[in-house]
Amino acid sequence: MLDSDNTATPADFFRAWNQGEHPDLYEIENEALDREGLVWAELARLAPWEDRTILDLGCGTGFWLPRYAEQAATVIGVEPDPELLGAARSRPGGASVLHGSAEHIPLPDASVDVVHARFAYFFPSPHNNCSAGLEEVLRVLRPGGALVVIDNDQLEGDFAILLEAANASAGQGDGDYISKWWAERGASTTRVMSSWTFDQPQDLVDVISMEFPNGTSDDWLSSDPQRRRLSCGYALHHLRKH
């Protein structure tokens, strides 16, 4: 467990190439995500946080903390990147933002009701065992509490096409390795099709070029330079603590 003011780098931390290196551009990405509210509706159905304590694990700059604060009794953000803590702590809504990581959550046992991990830490593969982080999440969850991991659906949607073009899943195992990994640990997986919708075509180009920096998205982007929207599937891995 890390102290909330400890600035030592957790052993399981690596700086994200997107949010860690381009926080302003990642803000535009967050503003584009799921404007239909389809993912949010499913998250609330799987593990309601109204009047409860919710932990945003790997909260980054804290973009989602104010939205949780609209309903939750207590909102906590945990982030391993010390350079993002200031931005997260400046968000409205009164969330507590602590320095820690999935394997080192600076909270007592059985202290939260819901944990969300949004594109953070939980990327299981034959070469990346996420069990230590899962054990730590289960430690801080109260009995009956739930973890929901928000991940990309690599099977459906425009974003899945981009992932395939970038060979992004090459190290994640064959077929449905990720879903099987979660199922073996008692989790269920729900798939939701939503979108990213940008205010300007250039915003879409800039964000996609950030997410796929090696030119693998160039053909897709050039096929419709004026597009402002792409379809994006999400895989929500849901595990309840008994």
What are 46's two structure tokens?
């799987």
Residue 146 domain-assigned (yes or no)? yes
Phi, psi of 211 (to 5 degrees): -70, -30
Q: How far is the C-alpha of 188 from the C-alpha of 238, rounded, in Å? A: 5
Q: How far is the C-alpha of 202 from the C-alpha of 223, rounded, in Å? A: 14
Residue 130 domain-assigned (yes or no)? yes
Position 14 pLDDT exceeds 70: no
Query: What is the pLDDT averaged over residues 176-199?
Result: 96
Residue 56 domain-assigned (yes or no)? yes
**Residue entry with tokens 């030119």:** 215
> What is residue 1's predicted lDDT score, i.e. its pLDDT?
34
Residue 12 domain-assigned (yes or no)? no
Position 15 pLDDT exceeds 70: no
Chain centre to alpha carbon of residue 209: 19
Q: In what order do the strands lie in the sheet with 112-118?
A: 96-99, 74-79, 53-57, 112-118, 141-152, 229-240, 188-197
Residue 6 domain-assigned (yes or no)? no
Query: What is the pLDDT averaged over residues 180-194?
Result: 96
> What is residue 130's predicted lDDT score, i.e. its pLDDT?
94
Residue 5 domain-assigned (yes or no)? no
Query: What is the pLDDT averaged over residues 137-144?
Result: 98
Name the residue with higher pLDDT: 94 or 155: 94
Cβ distance 4 to 78 under 8 Å?
A: no
Cβ distance 4 to 100 under 8 Å?
A: yes
> What is residue 11's predicted lDDT score, i.e. its pLDDT?
63
Residue 18 domain-assigned (yes or no)? no
Position 86 pLDDT exceeds 50: yes
- DSSP string of 174-191? STTHHHHHHHTTT-EEEE
- Domain total for the chain? 1
- CATH code, domain with 102: 3.40.50.150
- DSSP string of 124-157? -BTTB--HHHHHHHHHHEEEEEEEEEEEE-SSSS
> What is residue 3's predicted lDDT score, i.e. its pLDDT?
38
What are 77's two structure tokens?
């953000």
> What is residue 155's predicted lDDT score, i.e. its pLDDT?
87
Name the residue with higher pLDDT: 8 or 229: 229
Average pLDDT, the chain: 92
Residues 6+ apart with CB under 8 A from 130: 102, 121, 122, 123, 124, 181
Q: How far is the C-alpha of 140 from the C-alpha of 53, rounded, in Å? A: 11
- Domain membership of residue 188 as a residue range: 23-239
pTM attached to this predicted model? 0.91
State the pLDDT confidence band at 84, using cuts at 50, 70 and 90.
very high
Position 183 pLDDT exceeds 80: yes
Name the residue with higher pLDDT: 175 or 166: 166
pLDDT digits (tens, 9 = 90+) for 27-39: 999 999 999 999 9
Percent of the residues in the chain that have a pLDDT greater than 70, as a whole number: 90
> What is residue 107's predicted lDDT score, i.e. its pLDDT?
99
CA angle 167, 181, 194 (to 5 degrees): 60
Position 231 pLDDT exceeds 50: yes
**CB-facing half-sphere around the CA of 118: CA atoms within 13 A:** 20
Percent of the residues in the chain that have a pLDDT greater than 90, as a whole number: 79
Residue 102 domain-assigned (yes or no)? yes
Cβ distance 2 to 10 under 8 Å?
A: yes
Position 135 pLDDT exceeds 70: yes
pLDDT digits (tens, 9 = 90+) for 45-67: 999 999 999 999 999 999 999 99
